[in-house]
Amino acid sequence: MAPQQPHRSLLHPLRPLPLALAVVALGGVLASCSSNRGDQLRLGAGIALTGNGGLLGQDARTGLDLARQQFAAKQPGLELQLEDTGSDEAGATVAFRRLINAKPVAIVGPSFSQQGFAVMPMADRAGIPVIGVSTTAEGIPQIGRFVARVASPVTVIAPRSLAKAVQLNPGIRRVAVFFAQDDVFCTSETQIFQKAIRAKGLELVAVQRTSVSDTDFQIPITNVLRSRPQLVVISALVSDGGNLVRQLRELGYTGPIVAGNGLNTPNIYPVCQRHCDGLMITQAYNPSLNNASNRSLLAAFRKGRPADAVPPQVTAQAFTAYQVVHEALASLKTTLPQGTSLPSLPLGELRQRLLKTMLAGTYQTPLGELRFSPEGEVLQRDFSVARVSMAADGRSGRFVLLP
């Protein structure tokens, strides 16, 4: 998306950051560190803590912090340096320059595909493994040899929610699409949605361009509703997408709505409120998954929260990215001669060996079993589709997995 001021209209303000993280967001200093100093290494993270993507970035920050706590007592020790990328390419560029200059063993982030295309080449040129958490647009792993991601691509994700909507509403024939034209992920995702719509023999009655900075959608919605859609598909981010959903309902649309990955967070609840109810979104994370990693994530996430609270998908993805780096480093450590520490290796060699080890591994994560292709594309087996169910207060809700 184009550089812009943070957009807060109709949103709850960002939650106050813990002191260490607040300092990082402003100054880019060390966010948190392991108490285990045996093989201390630095892991960089660049995520959106401010701007119109800051709500999604909060989810990632939570996942990274929970993972840091989970692995704090295990070797190798990792210092986590967290930088705020903002929600545009300019902010991501500044953050990644700071991270690269800090000489990390790897970098997690950024939050958005548009940022990824701008800054992942910087990490690749520096020979630093960079792992995308929520960068799902086509072409991310192909940026360079050191680029990977734990977020499954939009080509895998998007068609599933559309198929579920048609399965639940077999009379659907007419489909309208909205997409944010100034965000590279949204433009990539809508192409996949539109291709899937045509492949199912459905009629695409309207394709409406919007902007991530839009707040008033009355004119485009009115124009689209004249085409009498039976299904609406949205590719947008939290703020603009949530407002679009709310205004669609307020202007009388009562049919099903399928949303893309940009709205896949509980942070939409304060935006579309009761009108979020019924929204269908594909999930790469299933909180009922019964493996050790997901049980650990759930237990940590529920401290101070309701006993049935579940992490957002991006929280699970950020936790997974940290886990993958840590486990790959631990595996690499076992290949070194006795008495040799990871920090004793030349940094360039350590990064290259980490990349090779990481891509060769198999990981039991909150997202299920993950592997990587040789070019860094995540290979994930399990997906679900969820429908948002809002509480009576219209301010809180949950993602209910559909059978």
Write out pLDDT tens, residues 273-288: 999 999 999 999 999 9
Phi-psi category of residue 185: left, alpha or beta, with phi > 0 → left and psi -120 to 50 → alpha: alpha
Residue 11 has pLDDT above 70, yes or no: no
* Contact residues for 95 (Cβ-Cβ < 8 A; gap 6+): 28, 46, 83, 84, 85, 86, 110, 119
Fold of 19-152+290-372: Rossmann fold (3.40.50)
Q: Domain 155-283+384-401, what fold?
A: Rossmann fold (3.40.50)
**Tokens 């299904």, residue located:** 231
Q: Which residues contact 354 (CB under 8 A, 6 or more apart)?
A: 105, 106, 129, 325, 328, 329, 332
The string of pLDDT tens digits covering residues 124-180 is 999 999 999 999 999 999 999 999 999 999 999 999 999 999 999 999 999 999 999
Beta carbons within 10 angstroms of residue 313's beta carbon: 28
Instruction: Note the pLDDT of residue 174.
Output: 99
Please return the burial class of 277, using the count of CB atoms within 10 Å of its CB with bins 0-12, 13-18 and 19+. middle
Picking from 160, 161, 162, the residue whose alpha carbon sits closest to that of residue 172 is 162
Shared fold status for 19-152+290-372 and 155-283+384-401: yes
- pLDDT, mean of residues 67-96: 97
Q: How far apart are CA 77 and CA 80, in angstroms?
A: 10
Average pLDDT over residues 268-272: 96
Query: Two tokens at 60?
Result: 């990632």
| pLDDT value of residue 30 | 43
Copy the structure tokens of residue 188.
Answer: 């990539």
What three-state secondary structure class fits 81? strand
Q: Is 355 helix (H, G, I), strand (E, B) or coil?
A: helix
Tens-digit pLDDT profile for residues 317-375: 999 999 999 999 999 999 999 999 999 999 999 999 999 999 999 999 999 999 999 99
Structure tokens at 166: 């048609």
287-303 pLDDT, tens per residue?
Answer: 999 999 999 999 999 99
Q: Give the 3-state secondary structure of residue 371.
A: strand
Q: What ranges do the domains of the chain cover?
A: 19-152+290-372, 155-283+384-401
Whether pTM exceeds 0.85 = yes
For 236-328, where are the E strands, in sequence order? 257-259, 280-283
